[in-house]
């Protein structure tokens, strides 16, 4: 072992010993590689499985076996009102009021539902303004919504690019773009945390600038929820959507979430795509009337609750509720800072590798994106072969996300020493 490895290992041992969330890793199942648990840095892509997931899903399967249709009202967590269980814990995660959030569908579906209500272009104000290089699904959703309204994405999708030589946008870049293009913008649609760069945007400032310009402000929190603490209500965002299989650990294809600011809670006249579960409960089954939306985010529901996958989300939210975003955030900053420090030591004077995620902890969550001018994909594959699970995003980035609930400081040392060995083979 090299001398600096000893100092890394000692530092990690101390940090792990002081970590208030250290025991939480025992609540999760770790994949194995070469006969031992992996070091998992992919919680930003698919979170690990909580051990309680199987129990909670099995309980719903049991109740279905036992009660059949009567389970809607008779089971231990009646399916008829199952979605309600999620409002409190999700509201805490995103900083909203319980009636501003609902768990349903998948992220892209919810994004379309929200744009149906909040992207209402006119010939003068037709554009959607977003960050350049957005996630493909969001781009496809944006383009198709623009076309749906008879406009052309070439002129109605405004993408903001970083300044020459920069990898990420500054808040000022975004505000400046909103000031100059705001008059033609119907909707400012931003990520909370950008999937490629790991940058955490200033949701409050972006929202204020959008509103000052007369536009709506919506957010995709796929990489933000369960990662960074948000205050969507206070920040005044109009709507937000997220998925639950990344930091929220609710499993592949998990049930997603949605937030709508309370000022829209009773706006029955808003255009929306409706379904029976969004109808006011008192008249949901009545055949004699047309749609009357429920109060708040519930009014955007389409279908009855997806109980089996929601049981997996419940297993995850129990853990978040116990850990609390405050402790998660404290550990996240220490862990990500430790990873950054070790990466910078490993990278040294290799100018073909650099971290593109902002170094300011206020402008990032748990993810560091490391750009490689060359050999990136190969190094990524070698890390995986050594049981260090990271991911590769074209064109040139390895994303590394230490999830505070189950990644340890010792895992960070394992990543750094493995990467160092691999890099020395590439000189
Ligand atoms: C993960 C992710 C998605 C995924 O969309 P699904 O509808 O859940 O498949 C969409 N947008 C962003 C920004 C993401 O990070």
User: Which residues, judged by CB distance below 6 Å to any ligand atom, belong to the binding site of ligand 1?
Assistant: 106-108, 135, 137-138, 191, 195, 220, 222-223, 243
Q: Which of 241, 243, 397 to mutate to test the pocket of ligand 1 (most atoms within 8 A of CB)?
A: 243
And the tokens for 206?
């972006």
pLDDT of residue 289: 80
Q: Where in the chain is the domain with CATH 3.40.640.10?
A: 57-321
pLDDT digits (tens, 9 = 90+) for 156-181: 999 999 999 999 999 999 999 999 99
pLDDT digits (tens, 9 = 90+) for 194-214: 999 999 999 999 999 999 999
CA distance 139 to 108: 10
Q: Whose CA is nearest to atom 10 of ligand 1?
A: 137
- Helix/strand/coil (H, E, C) string of the chain? CCHHHHHHHHHHHHHHHHCCCHHHHHHEECCEECCEECEECECCCCCCEECHHHHHHHHHHHHHHHHHHHHHHHCCCCHHHHHHHHHHHHHHHHCCCHHHEEECCCHHHHHHHHHHHHCCCCCCCCEEEEECCCCHHHHHHHHHHHHHCCCCHHHHEEEECCCCCCCCCCHHHHHHHHHHHHHHEEEEEEECECCCCCEECCHHHHHHHHHHCCCEEEEECCCCCCCCCCCHHHHCCCEEEECCCCCCCCCCCCCCEEEECHHHCCCCCCCCCCCHHHECHHHCCCCCCCCCECCHHHHHCCCCCCHHHHHHHHHHHHHHHHHCHHHHHHHHHHHHHHHHHHHHHHHCCCCCEEECCCCCHHHECCCEEEEECCCHHHHHHHHHHCCEECEEECCCEEEEECCCCCCCHHHHHHHHHHHHHHHHCCC
Which ligand 1 atom sits closest to the C-alpha of 256? 8
Local confidence band at 28 (pLDDT 50, 70, 90 cut-offs): very high
CATH class of 3-49+324-424: alpha beta
Q: Which of 106, 133, 195 to mutate to test the pocket of ligand 1 (most atoms within 8 A of CB)?
A: 195
Which ligand 1 atom sits closest to the C-alpha of 135? 13
Q: Where in the chain is the domain with CATH 3.90.1150.10?
A: 3-49+324-424
Distance 108 CA to ligand 1 centre (A): 7
What topology is assigned to 57-321 in CATH?
A: 3.40.640
Q: Whose CA is nearest to atom 2 of ligand 1?
A: 222
Is residue 284 predicted with pLDDT exceeding 90?
no
pLDDT digits (tens, 9 = 90+) for 113-159: 999 999 999 999 999 999 988 889 999 999 999 999 999 999 999 99
Which ligand 1 atom sits closest to the C-alpha of 220? 13
Distance 111 CA to ligand 1 centre (A): 10
Q: Tell me, yes or no, if the pTM score tops 0.95.
A: yes
Distance 378 CA to ligand 1 centre (A): 26
pLDDT of residue 218: 98
């Amino acid at each position: 072992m090299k001398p600096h490895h000893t100092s890394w290992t000692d530092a990690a041992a101390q940090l792990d010993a002081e970590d208030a969330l250290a025991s939480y890793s025992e609540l999760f199942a770790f994949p194995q590689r070469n006969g031992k648990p992996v070091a998992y840095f992919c919680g930003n892509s698919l979170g690990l499985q909580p051990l309680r997931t199987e129990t909670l899903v099995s309980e719903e399967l049991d109740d279905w076996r036992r009660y059949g249709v009567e389970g809607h009202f008779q089971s231990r967590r009646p399916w008829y009102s199952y979605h309600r269980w999620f409002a409190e814990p999700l509201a805490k995660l995103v900083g909203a009021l319980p009636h501003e959030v609902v768990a349903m569908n998948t992220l892209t579906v919810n994004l379309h539902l929200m744009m149906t209500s909040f992207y209402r272009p006119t010939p003068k104000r037709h554009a959607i303004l977003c960050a350049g290089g957005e996630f493909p699904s969001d781009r496809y959703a944006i383009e198709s919504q623009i076309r749906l309204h008879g406009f052309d994405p070439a002129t109605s999708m405004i993408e903001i690019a970083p300044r020459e030589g920069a990898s990420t946008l500054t808040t000022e870049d975004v505000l400046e773009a909103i000031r100059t293009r705001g008059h033609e913008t119907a909707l400012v649609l931003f990520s909370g945390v950008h999937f490629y760069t790991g940058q955490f945007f200033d949701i409050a400032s972006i929202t204020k600038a959008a509103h000052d310009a007369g536009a709506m402000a919506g957010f995709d929190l796929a990489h933000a929820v369960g990662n960074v603490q948000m205050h969507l209500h206070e920040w005044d965002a109009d709507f937000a959507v997220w998925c639950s299989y990344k930091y929220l650990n609710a499993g592949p294809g998990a049930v997603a979430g949605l937030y709508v600011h309370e000022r829209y809670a009773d706006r029955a006249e808003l255009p929306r795509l409706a379904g029976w579960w969004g109808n006011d409960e008192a008249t949901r089954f009545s055949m004699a009337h047309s749609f009357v939306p429920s109060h708040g985010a519930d009014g955007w529901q389409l279908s009855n609750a997806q109980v089996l996958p929601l049981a997996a989300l419940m297993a995850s939210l129990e853990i978040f509720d116990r850990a609390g975003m405050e402790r998660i955030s404290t550990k996240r900053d220490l862990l990500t800072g430790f990873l950054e420090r070790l990466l910078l030591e490993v990278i040294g004077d290799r100018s073909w590798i650099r971290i593109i995620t902002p170094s300011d902890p206020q402008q990032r969550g748990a993810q560091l994106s490391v750009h490689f001018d060359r050999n990136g994909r190969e190094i990524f594959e070698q890390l995986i072969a050594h049981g260090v699970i990271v991911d590769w995003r074209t064109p040139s980035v390895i994303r590394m996300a230490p999830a505070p609930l189950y990644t340890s400081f010792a895992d960070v040392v394992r990543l750094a020493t493995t990467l160092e060995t691999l890099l020395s083979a590439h000189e």
